Structures are given as C-alpha cells and as structure tokens.
Amino acid sequence: MIGATATSKAGGQGSRLFVYNGGFVTQPRLRRILDLAGYQLRLGLPKEGDLVGVWGNSPTAHRGRSVAAKYGADLLRVEDAFLRSIHPGRAGEPPLGLLLDRKGLHFDPAQPSDLEDLLATHPLDDSHMMRRARNAIGRLQDAHLSKYNGFMPSAPLPDPGYVLVVDQLRGDASVTASKADRARFLEMLVFAQEEHPGARILIKTHPETRDGHRSGHYLDTDAQGRVEMFSDPVSPWGLLEGAIAVYTVSSQLGFEAILAGHRPRVFGQPFYAGWGLTEDEDPVARRQRKLTRPQLFSAAMFLYPIWYDPFTDRLCELERVIDTLEASTRAWRQDRAGWVASGMRLWKRSPLQGFFGQTRKLKFTENPEEARKSGRNWMVWASKAQAKTHAGATHVEDGFLRSRGLGADLVPPMSLVLDRQGIYYDPRQPSDLDDLITLRADLGPAEALRAEALIQQLIRNSLSKYNLSGEPPALPAGHRILVPGQVEDDASIKAGCGRINTNLDLLRATRKANPKAVIIYKPHPDVEAGLRPGSLPESGIPENLADVVASNCDPMALLDEVQEVWTMTSLLGFEALLRGAKVTTLGLPFYAGWGLTTDKRTAPPWRAARPDLLGLAHAVLIDYPRYFDPLTNLPCPPEVVVERLISGELPQPSLGNRSLAKLQGAFATYAHLWRRGKR
C-alpha cells in the first residue's frame, strides 16, 4: 500500500524533479523523502516530462514557477505535512512528512489542490479507514500532539468558558491566499464579541510572535475590556477543550478545533472550510460536499501526505509517525529543563547521556545540595536512592525490554523508566506505574490495538527483558509449573517479599501447594553467570522440590511449555501473563493486585483498579518506559526496539565494557568471601 501511494504521488517512479531553492539541496531529510516518493532531484533546466519543485508559496518559489512556465514543465508544490516535529523547520529540525501537490496549494483557494480534489471526489467510505481516523484523532488528543510540539501539556490553562480568537503571522501564505489583512482580523474580533456577549475573549498569539520572531495581526492595544491576549505555550488540545467557540482565518488550529468537536467560525478559505464542518464567512462556491470529521481527517492525514519513518528509512503510515513523534516529544518535555544525576556507575553514564542528555547534557554529582541547587531536575538510580538523602529525586531503573544481554554484563539498555513517586518494584509506596495502570483500566480502541499488536510481536519472536538464547531441556509430561529463580539481594525481593524471600523457600511453597505437579526451576541468568547471589546448595535441590532445573536456556521457550508460573516478584510472571499462563505471586510485583494474578499477599490499597491484560501491557510497555534506538541515537517507540531485537541490528558492547564485565565476573567468583564476612 505504501509503494502504491508513493507511485501515485510521484506520477510514476523516477520522475526528475528540478529545483531552484537551496533548501531542497541542503536538507537531507527533505531529499530522502522525495527520493523515496519517486522523485530524483536535479539541477539545471527541465525537459519534456520533467517536473519543477517549489516550496509552497515561499519567496523563492517564483524561480521555479518561471522556469516551469518557460519550459512547459509541470509544478510539484512541496509543503510540510500537518504533523511535523517538536520545533519549526527554521530551528533545524527535519520533518516527518511532506505534502506533494501537482494541482495547487492546499491553503490557496484560487485553484483546486490535490487535497481539495480528494475531499470533493474520493469516496471516503471505507469503514476501516474511518476507524483508523477516529483512533488517530484520539491518540493526537491524548498525547497532545500538533504540527509543532514545543509546549508543555502540564502548563496551566485559562479557566474554561472563553471564546478563542486565533491570530496568525503577518505575511503568512495561507492568510495572503485568503486575501486577509489586519482589517479582516479586527472584523473577526468584532464578530466574536457580538456573537458572544459577556464572554471572555482570548486572542491566541502565534508562537513565533510570542518568541519575538514575527509580528501577528493583533496589537496589545486590541486587548480591551473582556478581550485579552494569551501567549502562553500550552497544549492546543487543552486550549480547545476549554473554549466555547473558535474563530480563525486559516490557522491549522481551526482544523484541530474541528477534530476536537468544535464548529469553528472561519473568515478565510483554508482547506478544511466548505465541507459542512465550519461556519464560513467567505465560502468557496465549488466546495459543496458535506463531510464528517473522520472523512476530513482521512483525506488530510492518510491520503494526502507522504509520511517518513527515520528508524527504517522508509515511507510509512500516519500511525508510525504518531508513535515516533510521541516518543520524541515525551523525551523533550521530560528533558528540556536538563538533568543532574546521582548514584550512576561510570559505565552507565554514556547510555544515560543518550537517553536524557540530547536537549541539555547531563551533569553528574553525588552531592545532594549541589544537585538541588543546579536548577535542573534530579535523578538517582533507584537501588541507590535513600529516602532522606535523595528526597525529591526522580528514580531511574531499567525498563522491561532492555537489551540482548545482561545488564550485569554491562550491556547498555534500550529502555529505562523514570518514576517521580517511587519505583515499580517497591509496593510500599505508590509509583508512577501504579497510576498509569489505574488510568489504563479504561483503555481506548486505538490503545488496545497497539498493545495487542506489541504483545503479539513479543510472543511471535520470543522477546523478553534480556533476550538470552539456549535450548530448554526435555520436560516430563503433566501439569507443568515454572518457578523462576531470582537474585536474592535484589531490591524487588527486599521491598516486595514477606516471609518467603529466598529461592529455596519459593520452591518449598510451590511444591507444598502443588504436590503432583511437574515443577521446573529456572535459575536467574545473573546467578548462573556468577554475578549475583541466589544459587541453591551445591549438593542440589533438596526434598525433591523441582523435577527439572532448566539452566542456561531461553525462559520464553519454557513459558510455551508450562501452564502456570509461581514467583516471588520476577518479571517472568508478567511475561507469562502476556502468554496466557496462570500466575501466582508470593511477593508483590508490579503486576500483582490488579485482578490478573493469584496473589498470596494482600495488595496495597492503591491497586484497586481492574484493568484487562491489554491495559496492563500498555501501561507497562508503552506508557512507563523511555526507549532509545542505538542505531539512530534517537528516542523511539517500543516497536522500534522490538524490531531491532528481532533483526539483531544492534551495536556490540565496547571493548572497555567487555573487559570490565569479565573483570567483574572474576571478582564475583569470590563474592561469597566478603558477603560471609558481612553477616
């Protein structure tokens, strides 16, 4: 489908595109998207059958139009798509999509564009596409995504009940195309006041006006009486939610207002006007069709743009772009103030810079006062956090799709979690993960589909936290129960277990409750590697507690062969839930207490919600962790990490890390000597 779309946009593969704007040459992402869409950029003069590319109605577009007219070449008008990036293109950030139009400009009503033709003539009656549209609209709202995303969704919003009047930049191409000027904007402001007597009027200034780059049409003197200027960088979706009416000339905010459920009053002739979803002061006579919101969205966001995936270097669907932009904006929003970090081992510092230091480089200190005075957010590795010393710090830990190889072997992570309240493995206090699971008890259709697709990818490819290999042993017939061993000094054991807190006690409890079952014991890989404590007696497992000891094998292969898992707090219990196995917990792991497991300990009171498995998975695998792609060095969605783990396209640990890991393993061989001395 993507290939067909690219071909139709290009008018055939390998179309020669002559350009006379330096941006086409100097911007690699722009060139790459055009190349993937079937356009070969050229300099010089076009011949018969060639195309001339121009950037919208930019100041340099006249060059291309003149050449095209002289040589009889068709024009290809190029613009950014309606979902672009965190910051505008002039900040140097590349786009995630383009609008390629052979007929006109989507914002210029002087002649029909390809987008207008789609809106006027395409059936737009495919039920699957309409479901996609409704789901995508919901995702954009939930993630607070717009064309540009350099704002904080948590920023305070004005009290609801206002009329929103949208300002635009002077000289904006869409404003000029609608033949609007300051007088038109003032007329719009008068209408807003007359049609809503007594209501508060907010003039929403353009971000570039707020930043002092370009002037808008409204002046400070226009804010009189109940009219006020509003320039705070807030979520457009949040702002629209509090509005009782929206007035615009041609802003994209008018399009988003439609998607948010408004019927905006439009004083220009933007692409979204004239389809029965707006109140038009100056209607376009040729636009007579009545459309629904999903139909408008489908044409503007599915059919019209060319979307690009930077992780696969391919054209893609809108949903992948939403995933990508959601990951990058989340990283920017969390990291924009900068971080100071404590309790981080030296080998972890470089991966942490990749995760959290792209906006502002991380600083490291072990001095709490220095961290608090830095003016930055403060993070500490969760297991190193002390309640008094690190009060107020955000806790950091490995995520649940971590790597191909052990952290104890110094393999860098591809996922990490940030938790402002506590940490997921400590049930003694609420964590951010607890809150996210509670929220996902009410899961929307788009989120459910995404979680289900991710789970199926994990199952089909036997993916887990560490993704270790090894064939499982032959297993006896019968009702099989897998008992995963754990590192006995692990923080999750200390925080989440009661009387049963050793691997031997776990086996005894499992056997006592299941005397006739086939019990398979899987030692923890860190323990097997000699890196962490938790091994059972050298003489073997006593009292016939286990029928099989499955050493040095892939635990996911074992999950395919068992009916139950009994565990203290192991992540393997969560992975078993994803694969449909019954799970009994003797501690309080993060997935216990939500009604999906049989729990031997009482869950904390804040785990009262009852999410289904998809809701739990969405919170644990999508909402909570941050993901990092080691090939592009970009924040990424979980799907990209899954693809990397499947393909094996991962950089090898550095020589320094490999040497340090071997040294660590050598010392671990004698760990019992100093641990014994501490008892």
For residues 584 and 565, give the distance between their C-alpha atoms in angstroms, rounded to a whole number: 6
The residues with which 549 forms a beta bridge, in sequence order, are 521
- Reading the block at residue 491, the tokens are 């923080």
Backbone angles phi, psi at 2, to 5 degrees: -65, -45
**Residue 416 contacts residue 465 (beta carbons within 8 Å):** no
- Beta-carbon contacts of 565 under 8 Å, excluding residues fewer than 6 positions away, are 481, 482, 483, 484, 559, 572, 573, 576, 581, 582, 583, 584
For the chain, percent helix, then strand, then coil, each to nearest 5? 40, 15, 45
Q: Model pTM?
A: 0.92
For residues 401 and 622, give the distance between their C-alpha atoms in angstroms, rounded to a whole number: 10
| pLDDT averaged over 10-residue windows placed end to end, the chain, 679 residues | 39 80 94 97 95 94 96 96 92 95 96 98 98 97 96 96 97 94 98 97 91 89 96 96 98 98 98 98 96 98 98 98 98 97 95 96 97 97 95 97 82 96 97 98 95 97 89 94 92 94 95 96 78 58 86 92 97 97 98 98 97 98 98 97 93 56 46 41
Reported for 451-457, long-range contacts at CB under 8 A and 24+ positions apart, including other chains, are 451/614, 451/615, 451/617, 451/618, 451/621, 451/622, 452/614, 454/617, 454/621, 454/622, 454/638, 454/639, 454/642, 455/578, 455/613, 455/614, 455/617, 457/639, 457/642, 457/646
**Residue 485 contacts residue 521 (beta carbons within 8 Å):** yes
Give the DSSP per-residue string, 7-64.
Answer: HHHHTSTTEEEEE--HHHHH-HHHHHHHHHTTEEEE-S---TT-EEEEETT-TTHHHH
Q: What amino acid occupies position 249?
A: V
Instruction: Give strand ranges (E) for 451-563.
Output: 480-484, 518-522, 548-549
329-364 per-residue burial string, b: 16 or more CB within 10 A, e: under 16: bbbbbbbeebbbbbbbeebbeebbebbbbbeeebee
For residues 107 and 178, give the distance between their C-alpha atoms in angstroms, rounded to a whole number: 8
The residues with which 398 forms a beta bridge, in sequence order, are 416
**Residue indicated by tokens 């995760």:** 355
Q: Of 418, 410, 412, 337, which is closest to residue 382 (Cα–Cα)? A: 418
pLDDT confidence of residue 7: 36
**Residue 378 contacts residue 365 (beta carbons within 8 Å):** no
- Beta-carbon contacts of 395 under 8 Å, excluding residues fewer than 6 positions away, are 379, 380, 381, 382, 385, 418, 419, 420, 422, 423
Q: Of 592, 544, 542, which is closest to residue 571 (Cα–Cα)? A: 592
3 state SS of 585: strand
pLDDT confidence of residue 532: 57
Instruction: Give strand ranges (E) for 235-338.
Output: 243-248, 265-266, 279-280, 305-309, 314-316
For residues 192 and 211, give the distance between their C-alpha atoms in angstroms, rounded to a whole number: 26
pLDDT confidence of residue 534: 57
The residues with which 100 forms a beta bridge, in sequence order, are 78
- Beta-carbon contacts of 346 under 8 Å, excluding residues fewer than 6 positions away, are none
For residues 11 and 218, give the distance between their C-alpha atoms in angstroms, rounded to a whole number: 43
CA 327 to chain centre: 3
pLDDT confidence of residue 212: 79
For residues 489 and 7, give the distance between their C-alpha atoms in angstroms, rounded to a whole number: 59
Q: Of 617, 606, 624, which is closest to residue 438 (Cα–Cα)? A: 606
Q: How far is CA 599 from CA 156, 302, 497, 602, in A?
A: 41, 46, 12, 7
